[in-house]
């Protein structure tokens, strides 16, 4: 840095940005805490102070204890979103019903909105973004996806020159924590989930985490930004992690893979592939090494090539980091013309175009198949014959005798085949003598 501006060039001070916070749970309390702790530093970056003026909370004494005497605490969130002294509303309530009403009311009253509520935006984003555009206010949501990773900004701004080909990510900290603890420490599913809840990672309803719904919410937002298309939640193929068994982790490991709940959005000539499902990733890939409550996102785009983003996927101050980054954007740009701000989804709404969603049943992938058998060595030749008769390539296989009698297993990695193409061979395998149950199938993604 060679020339610092002279003191005369110091801009006139701008009035503080006045924040109304709705909810003081995990996200709200972290936001309040970091705003106070890093007040000067944040003001230096935002060009003005960011003041928490009001909090709406159900538990008033708890809220007062958290925010201290200088912040007004109210039971009625509607009063906050309509209050003339509030410039920006941080929605940290969660859910879709009350949160939707409050966000729309805040917009109608000319308030900017910051939210980490991915369920709300994936269900009602079109309505909310349109209302915000019509009213000329910002809706910012960095905290809605992979909290500590600025992936919304990266896709929307850092990669603005690129045609994105695919986005693949581990975007649910809770399920990644559960999978990591089950694989590494042999914890049961219930124990690992309980631990994730205790650490404040899980959604109010943890079924959202382990059934892949939360990851689908996030994928919808990432795909909208990456591909410039309004994406509906029902366009995403979603499978969770409940049905995974310890032995699948074991077989995957032996075959050189790890199982992750992977969210994928990929552009094809005919439309978009959108899926969230437990997936085998080669153990050496960056995504396979994202463990615990961490998240990782890999983007393939035409000019930048492969870029990879890693960071905490859940947590109070980790989410606050993203929420406050959005508040800094609002502080800088609240007075700018709407056209001078970065659009919420990275493009002006009128250039967003619908793209058809493809059926994953018709898309080829490699596959992991596990077959419970009485005697692995005895069944292997017939199983390999069945693959060959159905023109399915076997890239690798593994047999385990099992500790008890009749508790063997055969595990296979197939070449590319669609779920529809696999159906006849699965039926043939299940009909072989000595096969004890249905074939378990998981998708394999050889992502580099």
Kindly list the catalytic residues: 218
CB of 113 to ligand HSE, least distance (A): 18
- Outline where DSSP puts E strands in 173-328: 237-238, 257-268, 271-282, 294-301, 305-312
Nearer to ligand HSE, 73 or 147 (CB): 147
Nearer to ligand HSE, 313 or 408 (CB): 313
Helix and strand totals (H; E) in the chain: 15, 16
CB of 174 to ligand HSE, least distance (A): 3
Residue 305 backbone phi and psi in degrees, to 5:
80, -140
d(CA 388, CA 382): 10
Contacts 24+ apart (CB under 8 A), 330-333: 330/17, 330/87, 330/88, 330/112, 330/114, 330/138, 330/140, 331/17, 331/46, 331/47, 331/48, 331/50, 332/46, 332/47, 333/138
CB 308 within 8 A of CB 301: no
CB of 98 to ligand HSE, least distance (A): 19
CB of 124 to ligand HSE, least distance (A): 17
Number of residues that make up the chain: 448
Nearer to ligand HSE, 297 or 355 (CB): 297
CB of 313 to ligand HSE, least distance (A): 5
Which helix (H) or strand (E) segment holds residue 387: the answer is helix 376-389
CB 441 within 8 A of CB 369: yes
CB of 289 to ligand HSE, least distance (A): 18
- What is the full DSSP assignment across 408-433? EEEEEEEEEE-HHHHHHHHHHHHTST
Nearer to ligand HSE, 27 or 52 (CB): 27
DSSP tag of 276: E
Please count the CA atoms within 13 angstroms of the CA of 44 that sit on its side-chain side: 4
Nearer to ligand HSE, 177 or 257 (CB): 177
CB of 200 to ligand HSE, least distance (A): 9
For ligand HSE, which residue has the nearest CB?
174
CB of 184 to ligand HSE, least distance (A): 18
d(CA 122, CA 115): 12
CA dihedral 367, 372, 377, 382 (to 10 degrees): -70
Nearer to ligand HSE, 26 or 331 (CB): 26
Nearer to ligand HSE, 221 or 344 (CB): 221
Token pair 């020339």: residue: 3
Nearer to ligand HSE, 200 or 419 (CB): 200
- Radius of gyration of the chain from its Cα atoms, rounded to whole angstroms: 25
Token pair 């032995």: residue: 247
Please count the CA atoms within 13 angstroms of the CA of 278 that sit on its side-chain side: 25
Which helix (H) or strand (E) segment holds residue 18: the answer is strand 17-22
- Shortest CA distance to 143 belongs to which of 166, 165, 124, 120? 120
**Where does this chain bind ligand HSE (CB under 6 A)?**
147, 172-174, 201-203, 209, 214, 313-314
Structure tokens at 17: 């940005």
Token pair 């896709």: residue: 155
């Amino acid at each position: 840095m060679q020339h610092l501006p002279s003191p005369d060039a110091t801009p006139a001070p701008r009035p503080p940005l006045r924040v109304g916070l709705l909810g003081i749970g995990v996200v709200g309390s972290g936001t309040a805490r970091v705003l106070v702790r890093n007040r000067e530093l944040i003001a230096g970056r935002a060009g003005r102070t960011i003041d928490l003026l009001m909090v709406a909370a159900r538990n008033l004494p708890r809220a007062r204890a958290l925010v201290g005497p200088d912040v007004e605490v109210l039971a009625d969130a509607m009063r906050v979103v309509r209050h003339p002294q509030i410039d920006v509303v941080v929605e940290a309530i969660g859910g879709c019903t009350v949160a939707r009403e409050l966000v729309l009311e805040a917009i109608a009253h000319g308030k900017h909105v910051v939210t980490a509520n991915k369920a709300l935006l994936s269900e009602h984003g079109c309505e909310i973004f349109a209302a915000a555009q019509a009213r000329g206010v910002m809706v910012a949501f960095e905290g809605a996806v992979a909290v500590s990773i600025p992936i919304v900004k990266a896709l929307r701004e850092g990669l603005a020159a690129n045609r994105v080909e695919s986005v693949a990510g581990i975007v649910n900290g809770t399920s990644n924590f559960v999978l990591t603890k089950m694989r590494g420490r042999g914890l049961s599913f219930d124990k690992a989930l309980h631990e994730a809840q205790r650490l404040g990672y899980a959604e109010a309803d943890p079924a959202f985490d382990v059934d892949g719904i939360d990851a689908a919410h996030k994928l919808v937002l990432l795909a909208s930004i990456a591909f410039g298309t309004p994406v509906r939640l029902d366009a995403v193929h979603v499978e969770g992690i409940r049905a995974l068994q310890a032995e699948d982790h074991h077989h995957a490991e032996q075959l050189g893979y790890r199982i992750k709940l992977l969210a994928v959005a990929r552009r094809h000539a005919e439309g978009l592939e959108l899926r969230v499902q437990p997936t085998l990733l080669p153990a050496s890939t960056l995504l396979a090494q994202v463990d615990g409550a961490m998240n990782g996102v890999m983007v393939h785009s035409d000019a930048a090539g492969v870029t990879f983003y890693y960071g905490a996927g859940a947590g109070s101050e980790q989410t606050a980091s993203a929420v406050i980054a959005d508040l800094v954007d609002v502080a800088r740009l609240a007075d700018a013309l709407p056209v001078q701000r970065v659009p919420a989804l990275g493009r002006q709404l009128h250039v967003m175009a619908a793209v058809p969603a493809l059926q994953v049943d018709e898309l080829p992938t490699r596959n992991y198949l596990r077959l419970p058998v009485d005697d692995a060595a005895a069944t292997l030749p017939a199983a390999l014959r069945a693959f060959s008769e159905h023109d399915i390539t076997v890239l690798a296989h593994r047999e385990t005798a099992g500790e008890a009698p009749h508790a063997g297993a055969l595990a296979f990695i197939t070449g590319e085949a669609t779920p529809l193409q696999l159906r006849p061979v699965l039926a043939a395998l299940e009909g072989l003598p000595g096969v004890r149950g249905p074939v378990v199938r998981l998708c394999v993604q050889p992502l580099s």
